[in-house]
């Protein structure tokens, strides 16, 4: 199982990179950290260059965007889709995670 990116998320990532005047390879690091009201929170970072290969790091590519995730986070994120919303209920990136048993009301944290 991989981690996927929706078309809306791809559009937003490309827009951000264009605004930053960075049109080279796009690498997004996704992960899971302890915290939030449900116990685990998502992390998302744009990397300017590919980090040194570390043991346990996984690379995925979806729609031309390269995703990097550490193995611990991958156990929580396998099968997840990164999406973007600009609607009335909140603007920003969010994760559609089939592994989450409970999600807090704001969608920032989850538990498995």
Position 16 pLDDT exceeds 70: yes
pLDDT bin (cut points 50, 70, 90) of residue 10 is: very high
Q: If 0-12 CB within 10 Å is exposed, 13-18 middle and 19+ buried, where does residue 107 land?
A: middle
Report phi then psi at 56, rounded to 5: 90, 0
Tens digits of per-residue pLDDT, 43-55?
999 887 777 666 6
Are residues 19 and 85 in contact, defined by beta-carbon separation less than 8 angstroms? no
Q: Give the span between the Cα atoms of 78 and 2, in whole angstroms.
A: 6
The domains of the chain, with CATH numbers, are: 4-111 (2.60.300.12)
Position 87 pLDDT exceeds 80: no
Position 28 pLDDT exceeds 80: yes
Alpha-helical regions (H) of 20-94: 71-77
Are residues 57 and 69 in contact, defined by beta-carbon separation less than 8 angstroms? yes
Distances, alpha carbon 111 to alpha carbons 39, 80, 90, in Å: 6, 14, 21
Position 112 pLDDT exceeds 90: no
């Amino acid at each position: 199982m991989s981690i996927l990116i929706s078309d809306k998320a791809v559009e937003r990532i490309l827009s951000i990179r264009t605004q930053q005047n960075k049109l080279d390879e796009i690498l997004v690091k996704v992960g899971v950290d302890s915290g939030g009201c449900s116990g685990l929170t998502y992390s998302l970072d744009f990397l300017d260059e590919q980090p040194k290969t570390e043991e346990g790091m996984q690379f995925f590519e979806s729609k031309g965007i390269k995703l990097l995730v550490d193995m611990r986070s991958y156990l929580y994120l396998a099968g997840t889709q990164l999406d973007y919303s600009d609607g009335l209920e909140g603007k920003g990136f969010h994760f559609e995670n089939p592994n989450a048993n409970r999600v807090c009301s704001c969608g920032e944290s989850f538990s498995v």
